[in-house]
Amino acid sequence: MSRSADYTIQGFIYQFIITFHELLLSSENTEITIEGIVEDIDVNTPTEQIVIQCKYHESKQKFTLSNIYKPVLQMLCHYKNNPTKNINYWLHAHFPNETVGSEKILTKTELETILDSKATDLQKYIAQLSSFTQGDEFLKRFKVKFGATLSDTEKAVIVCLASEGFTTEDATEIFYPNAIHAIAELSIQHDEQKRKIKKADFLNELKKKKKTAISRWTKELQDYTKFLKQRRKQIGEILNGNSRKRAIILDANYIVDFERNIPILIQDYVAKYNSKIRLNQTPVFSLVCDEDMLNNIWKSLDQKKLNIERGMIANTFNTTRFLRDPLKVIKDGIIEFKLKLCNHENEFDSIVNEAGFDDAIIISDRNFPFEDTTSCNIEKLKTQEINEIKYLLSLTSTL
């Protein structure tokens, strides 16, 4: 990943953390809108509205006026179109050389300098303001608030979360990453009403989710390795149940280097979780990939001396054959097959209701229709890296 991409993701994470912080500090009647009228955050109280933009500039040691031209112009355009509304405009920004908690009030001269910018990407905003004469009034409503680093902001948010009745350990390892993941997911909702949250409602929903979210967003948080360890522990409690029926859904469009990595992953899983002939249930691996790739993986597993039930009769998938239990000769330690393999898009729906799964482990960023209809326990892992997947499934002891 390029450094510019790193900084872009940092900016999103900072925005989500500040959003959660504002929510935790809010009162009962305050409503927060994620990605509001001028991007980022709207805070609506019974008496006022505050719109907040967040900018994270860890790489820029010194604050200069040019760093904030664009957000100021965006807010100014909004004010021009809404001069009578009771709206205050905040820019929440981090610069290493600025004192955390301090504020900057723009002067009229600084505002004129911004409006006189020749930067090409700003001309669309400046053109909208060509006849604007209420700059003095806008300046009464606008301020820059200098915030802490990502790391220190995270710590402050966790302290606030712990004060809401969560233990510090649970706040750090479960509820904080889940909150950031939830806010990130809400931020991409097209319907504005779905992006509106209140503190009590959000925390009540947060308390219901006891599984640590592993996703592209929690991966960027400071304690991601700790989150992985916690999630591994949670899944381990499920995986250690010998007699549970499991489906493992693996997405070729998501997992890195799928065709090379998946046969090894399956082999390791079967060796660990289907080695007790008397006790273990045969796992179902449902692969989200085309038939050619599935057949290549099937061949690779066969070369590893793994007997597989594919459920095929005369080149047609047969549900009854697929769902049958393997023949076993207990005294000789012989079992007919140790795993079942199917094409998720074409075959999984035909077996999911009859299979009686206890667990479905999904490694994908997609939402599958069966998730809304099944009664089985679902473990969703949104990590593309095979080493993290194997660690979470306790197939390796270290990352």
Q: Going along 147-245, which residue ranges are E strands?
A: 196-197
**pLDDT digit string (tens) for 164-176?**
999 999 999 999 9
318 with 281: CB under 8 angstroms? Answer: no
What is the Cα–Cα distance from 87 to 348, expressed in whole angstroms?
A: 52
pLDDT number for residue 6: 63
In this prediction the pTM is 0.88
∠ CA(382), CA(9), CA(92), 5° rounding? 130
CATH code, domain with 365: 3.40.50
Same domain as 271, residue 201: no
pLDDT number for residue 353: 94
- Which residues of the chain carry a pLDDT beneath 50? 1-5
pLDDT number for residue 325: 95
Same domain as 179, residue 262: no
- Total domains in the fold of the chain: 2
49 with 87: CB under 8 angstroms? Answer: yes
Same domain as 101, residue 17: yes
36 with 51: CB under 8 angstroms? Answer: yes
pLDDT number for residue 36: 84
Domain residues for 246?
A: 239-392
pLDDT number for residue 3: 40
Going by C-alpha positions, the residue among 169, 209, 229, 159 that lies closest to residue 17 is 159
Is residue 228 included in any domain, yes or no? Answer: no
